[in-house]
Structure 1
Amino acid sequence: MPTAPQTTDELYEELQANQRRPYGRTRTVTAEELVDAAERFEETLPLVRALLELQEAYTYGSEPRKSPVAFARLLTLFDEQPDVFDENLRHLVFWRFKWVASALRALPEIPRTSLRQWLTEMRERYEKAGLGLQPYYGQAYRLAAHVGEDTDLAFELWAARTRTPLSDCEACEISERALYHLASGDDERALRTWEPVLAGKESCQEEPARSIAHALLPLLRAGHTDRARELHLAGYRGCRRNPSMSGEVGRHLEFCALTGNEARGLELLAENRNLFDEVDSPLELLDFLNGVEVLLRRVEQLGHGELPAAGFPGRTWTVTGLRAEVHGRADDLAARFDARNGTTAHTDRRGARLGRAPLLEALELTLRTRRLDEVAVVPGVPVAAPAARAVAAFPESLPELVARARALDEQGHPDARACWTELRTRVTAPDYTHPDDPAVGPLARLRADLLADEASRRGERDDFTEAAALYEEAAGLYDDAGTPAHAALARAHAVLATAEIPPQTSARAASETPSGLPADGAADTGDTDGIPAEVAALTAAHAAMVRLHAETSGLAPYQEARLLRLRATALGLRLQASRSDGHVAAVLHEVGLLHDFATRHDIPGQIAGALVLRAHTFAISGDLPAAAAETDALLDRLEAHGPAWHLPRALGLRARLRLGAQDAEAAHADLGEALRLAADWPADAVDTARLHGDLAEACMHLGRPDEALRHLTRSAELNLRRGDRFDAYCAYSNAATLSVDLGRVEDCIALLDSLLAEPDVAAGEPDDRLVAQLRLTRARALRAGEDLKAATTEFLALAAESAGWDDDPGSHAMIAAETAVLLAEADEFDRAREAADQALAAHARDPRHEALSNCLRELARLQARQQGSDGLAGALAFLADAGRVAEGAHSAGYEAHGRPLDSALAYEYGRVHAYADAYEDALAALEKALALIGEPGPDNGRAGEWAECVRFAAAMEGVYLERPAPALARLDAAVSRLTALGHTEETEPLTSLAARLRDEE
């Protein structure tokens, strides 16, 4: 707090502001400061309110040692100055006797006799005040359940009593009754008892999140796996990072451990690392540590004890090390509670949890499936995907392995990559000795081979700068090894990779990459003498490769074919960048050279490559029939002569062409077959990730969104495993958006929470706009899930960040507009006005006519609906802004995709005036809207909008202005017109209103 409140009004304002903060150290420290400030005033009431806030901060901030101290001061004031406490404050004092009872139970150093003494005082105070004792018996039952003695009797004494105004809320009492049945071993009865809470019919600040955490395992044991999955996603979000619900977090970790989701469990553990340090309640900490240990034991049992794990601050942990530490601390806590209680209840319960066997081998919890071997992955480093088929065992002899790798590489066989990986492992081993074998050649040659393989992998992930550098390094080693043909081929690859470096980074990379391309900074400006930088770079790359080809002698046929393929590829990429018909012939010429050469020398892989390039060239030039014919010819050849590993990509190409021709069914069939064949080959070799992405698109065209979602996530997973994180995040972003559209809000939020917690995302390494899109989708999902507080917080943060996007003010306009609507939904219209003004300023620079108009009309509607006539001026100001946006759209010739902006605006004027009880003005606005919409026709698509406007105008006229005759005439005429045009469905609301008006006459 910068300065202490100087008046009681300022103090109350600070207290209200603090109550809006999340529970945690910031709120608690501020509450402590406010108590200090309140003590300076002569009045007692400010101190009472400050102490109430402080005790709440301690209670929900998991600081049970301090909560009773704050309450003791409050109780002293209550005894000494009872007149200060009105009925509400008196209620709060008696309510919080229960908070103190809970706090004392959570502290093993508090003797059992002291716990009973506090309950005795609570009973005596309640009796003296004439209050019912059901809350007292509730606390007595909780103590019995905690200790593990006389639980049944204590339960009956509590549960059989009538509730009082000081009883815990319905949701909390339902949860306690369910936990009693659960402890008795009756899962089914516990679940029946819990149902109103789990279904959301009863809730409070901590419910249903608390109940959900305890109900997960009973749901699994009862066979309700889908329900358990859904509740895990929703419930975890309600308790994560919350110190006062650390025990519930532990139960979600346990759930992950017992359902084959150990990797997700470690991810959630990392997200909740703060709990190791912030939980000051020994009882909550024990519950949390028990869940943590269940997870860590399971990971150890699966052989992954060396994995990193998030644990107590001050050092790094492995799973094994953290489990040992957690085990010791949890054992000690359980023993301390049992020593205090005089029972073995906590040790027994702990042992039961640790002894549970997994309930399911695998339950798909989220849209992002992860394995334990992916937990410690460094961003950007590929992970070996599970092999689709077994590769032949590697020879023990290094010369034999080298020979196999080189032979497979010459063919372009996918298994070459596995051989290079094995060779890399052997060559980098500390005890490696290079064989003196002419067939292997010098070490420089083998290292060059490995560098070229690594460069190829980098290029596939679009890391062209690194790929070019690696190829150039390989070329130097090939020179050293006396293999100039290999050196030339590596340099050609380097030249092409350099040309593919994005323009904004190519100038910076020029000093680090090989020569052969212009280095005058043209690429950095994006234009050279009117020629786009990318096109100029690829033209120069092709020329450099042609020269290199001419200057290199001794090329083997497969090497010469590769050079020809690179030359054709460079021109193909140029055509793709320029979309110029003038570049088509050059590509086809180079492809013809490649095809003829590969045919003469019988190189099947390059024959197929030539046909692929030809098909791509026709497709890019817009000649889809020719592209389809070339692809059909390619598939015929591959099926007859191979190589078989080209078939999945070829089918994928034909599928994309069919999608372009609007034949989604055929495309779907091709892609399904491509994936079936792809299972025989490594995913990278056949680009399985793209096949899944394309199949997702086909599914969307066919109206199969659930199937599309599965393929999107699979595509993303495969991209992640090969280190292509940008494409993976894009696919996941699409999956998240689709999941919201499908109503799977919790799936979306869980997926995005997982992605946003990735180390590279947290460090700001990926594209900042992509990360912003992920966050924006998450904020929209939170809003769809009615978590408006969290959604608003995220939107406000995004609006602040996007305000600095000088290159993209339109996106800021949209984010600020959505933020304004959320603020309005929370009745914060002054802040909504500020956000709307930001959106309008950004819109002036980069218009977003329709979307901004929609938001402004929504803001007006919200203010008028929630404030009535008091909000009319503010609502009309929003509509005036929407009017200016509509005028700007008209001047720019913009056509709205939805309702026309002018008629929608007139309709909103009618609705806003209706909310403000200005019915004549509302009717006039609706008459204007009807004129703008125009009379409906049989096919003009305006019938629904026109009918709704007629209904609204008739309601204003007949119901609110009490002029039923003209309203009925309006309705009857509209019904007749719509019926004559065949729009019978649109007449139903009109006939219903007409019947109502006639009944009231």
Structure 2
Amino acid sequence: MPTTPQTTDELYQALQENDQRPYGRTRTVTAEELVDAAEQFAETVPLVHALLELQEAYTYGSEPRKSPVVFARVLTLFDERPDDFDDRLRHTVFWRFKWVANALRALPEMPLASLRQWLTEMRDRYEKAGLGLQPYYGQAYQLAAHTGEDAALAFDLWAGRSRTQLSDCEACEICERALYHLGKGDDERALRAWEPVLAGKESCQEEPARSISYALLPLLRAGRTDDARRLHLAGYRGCRRNPSMAGEVGRHLEFCALTGNEARGLELLAENRNLFEEVDSPLEQLAFLTGVEVLLQRVELLGHGALPATGYAGRTWTVAGLRTEIRRRADDLAARFDARNGTAAHTDRRTARLDRAPLLDTLELTLRTRSLDDVAPAAPAAVPHSPAPAAVPAVPESTLELILRARELHELGHPEADALWARLRTLAADPDYTHPEDPEAGPLARLRADLLMDRSNDAGEKDQFAVAVALQEEAAGLYDEAGDPARAALARAGALLASAETPPQNPLDPDAVEVKTAALTDAHAAMVRFQEETPGLTPKLEARLLRLRATALGLRLQGSRDKEYAAPALAEADLLLAHATLHDLPGQISGARLLRAGNHALSGELPAAVEEIDTLLERLRAEGPAWHVPRALALRGRIQLGLGDAQAAHADLTEGIRLAGEWPAGTLNTARMYADLAEASMHLRRPDEALRHLTRSAELDLRHGSRTDAFCTYSNAAQLTLDLERVEDCIALLDSVLAEPDIASGDLDDRLTAQLRLIRARALHAGEDLKAATTEFVALAAESAGWDDDPGSHAMIASETAVLLGESGEFGRAREAVDQALAAHAREPRYEQLSSCLRELARLQAQQQGAEGLTEALTFLTDAGRVAEEARAAAYEARGRALDPALAYEYGRVNAHAGAYEDALTALHQALDLLGEPGPEDDHVGEWAECVRLSGVVEGVYLERPAPALARLDAAIHRLTGLGHKEETGPLVSLAARLRDEK
């Protein structure tokens, strides 16, 4: 708390601000400080409000030991000064008897007699106050259900009584009824009882998250797997990291364990690491730990007990070690509750949960389905549903044979060379390694250079160009030491190419393309000199150098998109093709034709590119090398996309992925193939299929170390998910991705991380979690304010932030955010976005505040008018609604909300004039019809002038009917009928 309140008004303001904070230590500590501050005023009511806020913080912060103590002070004040308690405070006091009963029940050290004594106290006070006893019987039933004694009788005594104003909310009572039926083994009746809550018709602070966590397994047993999946995603988000809902989190972990989603369970456990320390409720601890143990037990049974697991702070845990610790703690808690209650209910319930067998072998819960092998530190597994990779080739036992075989396969470009280099790397790193004394093996320096070159190739594929340059330059030195100038020249040529490919420090620099083009030109010239000046170039080595030369000019053409570079690029590919044909080098022949096809495509000669690929595929299928077929199909698929033949592209890419599966995983770029296949699927209007391919592509890139590419693809997948209105899927996907170590640690590019967070914030908004969405947007707006090189993005984020703040009624903060957006817009215009934001803020303020908010609403519209003027001056054409008629329409709507109907009608007529009457092909028909409708409401209903309103409506209906716009005509016909009836 920044400053101690000096007046009761300041105290109430501070209490209101604290009420907006999430439950947790910050809110609780502030509440404690506010109680201390309230005591200085020597007034009952401010102190009572402060104490009630503190009790709420303790209750929902999972500190049940402290809640009854605070309430005892409130009750004493209530007994001493009952006249100071108005009806609202009096209602709150009686309501919170239930909170104390819940808190006492959660403490095994609290004797059962004390719990019953408290319920007696509650009953006596309710009777004395003339209040109905249904809430008392509700608490009596919950105690009976807790102990496992006489629950049926207690249920009947409660459930048969009429609700009162002090009864728990409908959603909470529904949950208790459903749990009673569930405890009787009647899943069907429990699910029927839960239906209003699961369908979103009844809710409260803890519902539907609490009910969902209990309903997941019954839904599975009923065969409603889609419902279980959907509710898991929504329900988990409602309880994660929340200490007062630790038991709910535990049940979601159990659900993961019993549906083949153990890896997701471990991921969620890591996300909720705070619950090991912040849950002070023994009952919540028991529920949470039992769910954790179900998960860990399942993981260990599957043979992954050595996996790392998130647990108690202070040490590093494995699954097996954490399970042992949790079992000890949870067994002790269950025994303590049973000893207090005089029953075995908690031990029996815990045993039943641990003894449950999996309900499904597998259930795809999220778009990012992962196995336990994927989360293990070991080598990655294959992508789900992708073709299984071929077995790793047998590794020669002799080191000499291994070296020679690796070099042979490398010369061929064979995918199986990777495994042999990996084995050699391990051997050579051993301090006891002995290099073969054989002329065929060459000196140790050459082997080390070969290994560096293999690592540099891997770095280059991951766009780690600086790393590749360093490795190749070091390799060149070792080749020189080994007396191999030809390979040294190749290494230096590769370093030049990688250096030229290194992205500029400022990608937005307008000269970046020219700089890169010049670098590639210089690299090519240096390679030509290397070829002319280097002695000992064998045909195979010369082919590799020619390949680098051709690649450099191909990249120059690709980066510049300047057709004048097409002929030199094709000429270099032809040199390589002629040389490879002369010396019968099949791999280089294939490489040359792939380069030729790519150059034709970059030049816009797509038919020629397809013809080149067809020729290549015919040769590859007849003569090989077979591992080039997937690459050729992948390129043809991309070219077919360029030609607009998505069906052919889809077929080629699907076949390419299938054939790539015949080779070791990671040796062919299937990640790119999946991304292209996703594009083809979108063209074929198969968005769900596209989504699967995108997530596969991203996971492949992630596993193979191309993390930036992976996160870019995940961003695209998340946006597509949101576009498909699969909101919970989108949030779950992004939650998982944002938990990746390099994102969580801040190592990933901050703009890419911000993009992922921005999509998540939009998804939260779409999912109607306005508070969470606003919090994220506010944070992003603050961060993007420092993006001096990208003010347009800040304008966009600040605009969206302002709208969310307006939806929450925080128009002061919304004004601050939109002012930031306007300042950024002045540097990099975002006409359409700013205009839309300002119009929406005006509408929200007028709608929420009526006439009182009109002045400020009109100020927003004045700003929107200036933006529209700037757009006209810049000859900007809006992609969506035209700015001027949209602004006039909003003037009409805002004035209508504020009761200024004549001004509203004038503005709407202006909007209609600006739009003009629609024609057969006009795309603003809907906007025009809505403007006519609203003007009819304002004039015919509010201004009570039905005749002119009807005349305009009838004319519009006639015109729209003649144009065939039935959908837009419907609302106008309904309004006209209403006006005639009233007339």
Q: What TM-score comes out, normalization by structure 1 length?
A: 0.95
The amino acid across from 1:344 in the alignment is A
Q: Is the contact made by 1:384 and 1:721 (CA closer than 8 Å) also made in structure 2?
A: no
In 1, the alpha carbon distance for the partners of 2:509 and 2:911 equals 50
Tell me by how many angstroms 1:448 deviates. 2.4
Distance 1:964 1:525 in 2: 61
1:415, distance to aligned residue in structure 2 (A): 1.2
* CA deviation profile, 1:958-995 (whole Å, cap 9, x unmatched): 22222222222222222333334444443333333222
Which is worse superposed, 784-793 or 942-951? 942-951
Quick check: 2:299–2:305 contact (8 Å CA) kept in 1? yes
Q: 1:824 aligns with which of 791, 806, 825?
A: 806
CA distance in 1, matches of 2:156, 2:431: 71
Matched residue, 2:91: 91
In the TM superposition, residue 532 of structure 1 has moved relative to its aligned partner by 2.2
- Return the offset for 1:876: 1.0
Q: Distance in 2 between matches of 1:424 and 1:347?
A: 54
Distance (Å, rounded) in 2 between the aligned partners of 1:474 and 1:363: 49
Q: Which amino acid aligns with 2:187?
A: D
Partner of 2:210: 210
Q: What is the CA deviation profile of residues 160-181 of structure 1, one whole-angstrom value per residue up to 9, with x for unaligned ones?
A: 2222211111111111111112
Displacement of 1:365 after TM fit?
Answer: 1.0
Where does residue 422 of structure 2 map in the other structure?
A: 421
Partner of residue 713, structure 1: 695
Cα contact 2:373–2:380 (8 A) shared by 1: no
- The 1-side partners of 2:382 and 2:703 are apart by 6
- Tell me if structure 1 keeps the 8 A contact 2:762–2:773: yes
The aligned residue for residue 111 of structure 1 is 111
Match of 1:989 among 971, 974, 977: 971
| Native 8 Å contact 1:683 1:718 kept in 2 | no
In the other structure, the counterpart of 2:262 is 262
Deviates more, 1:343-352 or 1:91-100: 343-352
Which residue of structure 2 lines up, in the alignment, with residue 237 of structure 1? Answer: 237
- Is contact 1:171–1:207 with CA below 8 Å preserved after alignment? yes
Confirm whether residue 840 of structure 1 aligns to residue 841 of structure 2: no
CA distance in 2 between partners of 1:387 and 1:482 (Å): 42
C-alpha distance 672-888 of structure 1, shift in aligned 2 (>3 A): same
User: SS at 2:666's partner residue?
Assistant: helix
Does structure 2 retain, via aligned residues, the 8 Å contact 1:382–1:723? no
Instruction: Tell me the equivalent position of 1:653.
Output: 635
Change (3 A) 1:80 1:927: same
* 1:572-610 deviation digits (Å, cap 9, x = unpaired): 112222222332222122111100011111111111111
CA offset at residue 626 of structure 1?
2.4
Asked if residue 770 in structure 1 is aligned to residue 771 in structure 2, the reply is: no
* Cα shift at 1:331: 1.5
Partner letter of residue 979 of structure 1? T
How far apart are residue 453 of structure 1 and its match?
A: 1.3
Tell me if structure 1 keeps the 8 A contact 2:35–2:47.
yes
Counterpart of 2:40 in 1: which secondary structure?
coil
Cα shift readout 1:712-765 (whole Å, capped 9, x = no counterpart): 111111111111111111111111111111111001101111111111111211
Between the aligned partners of 1:721 and 1:141, the Cα distance in structure 2 is 52
Name the counterpart of 1:956. Answer: 938
Shift of 1:450: 2.1
1:462-486 CA-partner distances (Å, limit 9, x unpaired): 0011111112222333333343333
Q: Does 1:794 align with 2:771?
A: no
Provide, for residues 227-275 of structure 1, a one-character-per-residue CA deviation record: whole Å limited to 9, x for no partner: 1111111111111111000111111111111111111111111111111
Contact 1:32 / 1:54 at 8 angstroms: preserved in 2? yes
Q: Which of 862, 881, 885 lines up with 1:880 in the alignment?
A: 862
Amino acid across the alignment from 1:263: A
Match of 2:353 in 1: 353
Quick check: 1:690 aligned with 2:672?
yes
Write the mapping of 1:533-552 to structure 2, written as runs, cut at 5 A. Answer: 533-552=515-534
Please state how far the C-alpha of 1:351 moved relative to its aligned partner.
1.6
**What amino acid sits opposite 1:277 in the alignment?**
E
Tell me the TM-score normalized by structure 2: 0.97
State the 1:947 CA deviation.
Answer: 2.5
1:53-75 Cα distance to aligned partner (Å, 9 max, x none) = 11111111000110110011111
Partner of 1:519: none
Whether the aligned pair in 2 keeps the contact of 1:383 and 1:722 (CA below 8 Å) is no
Q: Output the aligned Cα RMSD.
A: 2.0
Q: Following superposition of structure 1 onto structure 2, how do residues 597-612 of structure 1 map, counting pairs within 5 Å? A: 597-612=579-594
Distance apart, 1:691 and its partner CA: 1.0
> What is residue 246 of structure 2 aligned with on the other side?
246
Q: How many Å separate the matches in 1 of 2:7 and 2:944?
A: 53
How much has 1:866 moved relative to structure 2? 1.3
Residue in structure 2 matching 1:588, options 567, 570, 573: 570
**Whole-angstrom CA distance in 1 between matches of 2:948 and 2:250:** 67
Instruction: After TM superposition, list the pairs within 5 Å mapping 1:470-869 onto structure 2.
Output: 470-504=471-505, 532-869=514-851
Secondary structure of the structure 2 residue equivalent to 1:686: coil
CA distance in structure 2 between the partners assigned to 1:377 and 1:872 by the alignment: 61
Aligned to 1:102: 102
Secondary structure at 2:917's aligned position in 1? coil
Partner secondary structure for residue 88 of structure 2? helix
Tell me what 2:4 maps to: 4
Q: Which moved more, 1:61-70 or 1:348-357?
A: 348-357
Measured in 1, the distance between the counterparts of 2:942 and 2:166 equals 45
Q: CA deviation at 1:376?
A: 5.1
What's the counterpart of residue 168 of structure 2?
Answer: 168
- Percent sequence identity is 75
Q: Quick one: structure 1 residues 339 and 431, their matched pair in 2 at CA, closer, same or farther if it must change by over 3 Å?
A: farther
Q: Does 1:45 align with 2:27?
A: no
- Residue 942 of structure 1 and its aligned partner are, at CA, apart by 3.3
1-structure distance, mates of 2:143, 2:541:
81
Contact 2:242–2:275 (8 Å) recurs in 1: yes
In structure 2, relative to structure 1, the CA distance for the partners of 1:471 and 1:345 (3 Å cut) is: same
SS of structure 2 residue aligned to 1:504:
coil
In the alignment, the residues of structure 2 paired with residue 881 and residue 124 of structure 1 have an alpha-carbon distance, to the nearest angstrom, of 62
Q: Is the 8 A contact 1:382 1:720 kept in 2?
A: no
Indicate the larger mover: 184-193 or 747-756: 184-193
2:165 partner SS: coil
- Give how far 1:624 is off: 2.4
Which string of whole-angstrom CA distances, capped at 9 and with x for unpartnered residues, describes residues 898-932 of structure 1?
A: 12111111111111111111111111111111111
Q: Which residue identity is paired with 2:647?
A: E
Q: CA deviation at 1:211?
A: 0.9
Structure 2 CA distance for partners of 1:158 and 1:527, relative to 1, 3 Å: closer
Q: Which residue of structure 1 aligns with residue 952 of structure 2?
A: 970
**Letter of the structure 2 residue corresponding to residue 251 of structure 1:** R
Distance 2:241 2:499 in 1: 46
Distance 1:991 1:344, change over 3 A: closer
Structure 1 residues 786 and 936, CA, compared in 2 at 3 Å: closer, same or farther? same
Is the CA contact (8 Å cut-off) linking 2:374 and 2:380 kept in structure 1?
A: no
In structure 2, relative to structure 1, the CA distance for the partners of 1:526 and 1:426 (3 Å cut) is farther
| Amino acid across the alignment from 1:167 | S
For residue 403 of structure 1, what is the aligned residue in structure 2? 404
AA at the equivalent of 2:401: E
Q: Distance in 1 between matches of 2:452 and 2:729?
A: 41
Deviates more, 1:367-376 or 1:723-732: 367-376
Retained in 2: the 8 A contact 1:198–1:212? yes
Partner AA of 2:314 in structure 1: G
Aligned match of 1:925: 907
Please say if residues 926 and 949 of structure 1, whose CA atoms lie closer than 8 Å, have aligned partners that are also in contact.
Answer: yes
Sort the Cα spacing of 1:580 and 1:799 in 2 relative to 1 into closer, same or farther, 3 A. Answer: same
Question: Residue 896 of structure 1: CA displacement?
Answer: 0.7
* 8 Å Cα contact 2:257/2:294 also seen in 1: yes
Matches within 5 A, 1:178-197: 178-197=178-197
Asked if the contact 1:18–1:27 (Cα under 8 Å) also holds between the matched residues in 2, the reply is yes
Separation (CA, whole Å) in 1 of partners of 2:593 and 2:203: 64
Looking at structure 1, the residues matched to 752 and 114 of structure 2 have their Cα atoms a distance apart, in angstroms, of: 57
The Cα of 1:377 is off from its aligned counterpart by 5.0
